[in-house]
Amino acid sequence: MTSFDLLIAGVGGQGIILASNVIGEACLIEGRQVKAAETHGMAQRGGSVECHVRIDGRYGPLIPPGQAGLLMAFELIEALRYRHYLGPGGRLVANKLVLVPTSVYMQELEPPTEEKILGQLADLGPCVIDADRKAVEAGSPLTQNMVMVGAASLFLPLEPESLEEAIRRSVPPKTIDMNLRAFQLGREAAGGCR
């Protein structure tokens, strides 16, 4: 069996590792193998961060470029940086957010705009949602990662119930309801993309 490869990209501090953990836990719930790789250490300090998740993965954790079935981008510049990982027919679920790297301001470069980046991603037919707004709606901006998991759930070979159970197991008990709400809002927001 070949794996379904998912790349999650974003900026250190956006809760990407937790999103990856929820998906891995959902694989466990379904009794499936999973391999994942994540970024730790210095790169986490506001740098570009990537998580590889290989659902039904039996071998190494790293996805070859051109093979991912889904790219979950928590930020649009990062969507651009990692788009070459997508394989033929691969889908992009992206958060409608541009975080301009501080170095762009320090070097007085032209900051990239949302319109321009979306133009460069248009050929992928991306599913773009406002995860930050949905997260606030769910109860806290910190739940944007579960909004993204909800949106991605439409394109993942996993049952939504498994992902919901994985959320229950992975987030602090007091925040379970809020995170499940975020998951549902993300799922609804991406509903039109399918």
Partner 1 sequence: MTKRYLLGNEAIAHAALEASADFASGYPGTPSSEVIDILRAQEERPLYVEWSVNEKVAFENALAVAWCGLRSLVTMKHVGMNVAADPLMTSAYTGVNGGFVILCADDPFAHSSQDEQDTRCYARFAHLPCLDPATVQEAHDMVIDAFALSEELGLPVIFRPTTRVCHSRSDVDTGPASTTEHRKGEFPRDPKRFVLIPGHARPLHKALNEKQPKVVKTLAGRHYNRFVKGGPRGVISGGIAVTYVEELLPREVSLGRIGAYPVDREALRAFIAGHREVLVVEEGEPVIEELVRQEARGVPVSGKLDGSVPREGELSTAAVASILAAKGLLPQPAGPPPAPAQNVPVRPPIMCAGCMHRPTFHAMKKVWRDAVYPSDIGCYTLGLQLGVVDTTICMGSAPSLASGIYHAGEKRDVVATIGDSTFLHSGIPGLLNAVYNGAEMTLVILDNRTTGMTGHQPNPVSGMTAMGEVKAPVSLEAICRACGVSFVETVSPYDLPSTIEVMKAAKAQKGVKVVIAKQPCVITARRAGVRRTTYTVDRDACTVCGTCVRFGCPAIEMVDERASINELCSGCGVCAQICPSGAIGPQAKEGKA
Q: Are 148 and 131 in contact (CB under 8 A)?
A: yes
Instruction: Determine the Cα–Cα distance for residues 106 and 92; give it in Å rounded to an integer.
Output: 30
In the complex, the smallest distance separating the C-beta of residue 133 from partner 1, rounded to whole angstroms, is 15
- Please list every residue from 54 through 93 that binds partner 1, using CB under 8 A: 58-66, 77-78, 80-81, 83-85
Give yes or no for residue 96 binding partner 1 (CB under 8 A). no
Binding mask 166-185 for partner 1 (x = CB under 8 A): --------------------
119: contact with partner 1 by CB under 8 A: no
Closer residue to partner 1, CB minimum distance, 100 or 191: 100
Among 1, 16, 19, 34, interactor with partner 1 by CB under 8 A: 34
Are 138 and 181 in contact, with CB atoms under 8 Å apart? yes
From the list 1, 42, 89, 172, which residue makes contact with partner 1 (rule: CB under 8 A)?
42
Complex with partner 1: residue 71 or 190, whichever CB lies closer:
71
What is the distance in angstroms between the CA of the first residue and the CA of the last residue of the chain? Answer: 25
- What sign has the CA pseudo-torsion 95, 161, 156, 4? positive
Smallest distance from the beta carbon of 37 to partner 1, in angstroms? Answer: 4
How many residues are present in the chain? 194
Residues 6+ positions from 85 with CB-CB distance below 8 Å: 7, 63, 65, 66, 67, 68, 71
Looking at the Cβ atoms of 58 and 161, the one nearer to partner 1 is: 58
CA-nearest of 50, 51, 49, 36 to 3 is: 36
Q: How many Cα atoms within 13 Å fall on the side-chain side of residue 66?
A: 0
State which of residues 18, 44, 136, 157 lies at the interface with partner 1 (CB under 8 A).
44
Q: Which of 6, 16, 27, 97 binds partner 1 (CB under 8 A)?
A: 27
Amino acid at position 147, single letter = V
The vertex-144 CA angle with 141 and 150, nearest 5°, equals 145
Residues that bind partner 1 (CB under 8 A): 11-12, 20-21, 24-25, 27-28, 32-48, 58-66, 77-78, 80-81, 83-85, 100-106, 108-109, 111-112, 120
